[in-house]
Amino acid sequence: MDTKRIQSGRAIGLHVSISGRLKDSVERAKSVGCVKTFQIFTCSPRRWNAAPLLDEEVEEFLQGVKTNDYNVFCHMPYLPNLCSPDTKFYDQSVSVLTREIKRCNALEIRNLVLHTGSHLGTSVSDGHERFVRACKKSIKDTADVNVRLLIENSAGVKNSVGSRFEDIRSILEKIGVPERTGVCFDTCHAFASGYDLRSPKTVKQIAVEFDKIIGIENLKLIHLNDSKGELGGSRDRHENIGEGRIGANGLKAVLLLDEFSQVPVILETPIEHEGDDKRNLAAAKSLMGMAPC
């Protein structure tokens, strides 16, 4: 495999803001150097309600995406918890999932990333059951659309669901609709839950394990984030590329691994100072041998 050629055309980008108008996210993606891909929320991630998508706004966004040849990913808002044992909260969370699938479809976004959530002290098995039920209902209620749900591995924090590959495999199997599901692999979350990504050797071992348990064909997106926390520390704290506990050597191994070479990459690194997003994306590109812009 010509890794150098593949990396030069690799889809790599950032999560960008939709502040203003949706179309502005495309310009932001261009300005920071996103290549072929970027990620957005369709609405405020910290509110339950979402303003309707206006036809003109959708058309502007679609034109910008097509003109610049972007494959856009979407992330679920933060408030929903698809594992919640609280019936009212759970039903509201499922409603938001269904709504976001429909909004993605209107925007021709084919992949929606979602967190598995917290079982809030009930049990992992109960959390799994509620999460699976939520996904199955939303998929059934949007049977006429083509949007894939990407299950993101969690960091292993208390009461969380989906930090181990076996958990994710079980979820995918129980949902049972492979054409509408897939996996988003977050490097910070994996490291926090005990997967050692600090060297080419361990990265290769983890890729082999992922393929054996989940299947590499189910990997649709990589969230490339360094980690503020220690290996197995269960801390969901993202760090700048090469400045965390995973480090540049490990993240480079993730980016250059043959098994991951066709998978789009999105950064969700901290923005504490102006230009941090562009700087982190340039750092990731440098690890792959790509030009920064």
Q: Which residues are catalytic?
A: 46, 75, 78, 115, 152, 186, 189, 223, 236, 238, 268
Cα–Cα dist 271/14, whole Å: 11
Torsion 66-177-101-55 (CA) sign: positive
Contact between 228 and 155 under an 8 Å Cβ cutoff? The reply is: no
Residue with tokens 């959530």: 117
Strand ordering across the sheet containing 219-224: 12-14, 265-267, 219-224, 181-186, 148-152, 111-115, 71-75, 37-40
User: How many separate helices (H) and strands (E) can be counted in the chain?
Assistant: 10, 10
Question: 106: how many CB neighbours lie within 10 A of its CB?
Answer: 16
Q: What are phi and psi of 153, to 5 degrees?
A: -65, 140
In this structure, the number of other CB atoms found within 10 A of the CB of residue 19 comes to: 10
Phi-psi region of 80 (alpha: psi -120 to 50; beta: other; left: phi over 0): beta
Report d(CA 288, CA 252) in Å as an integer. Answer: 7
CA pair distance 57, 8, nearest whole angstrom: 32
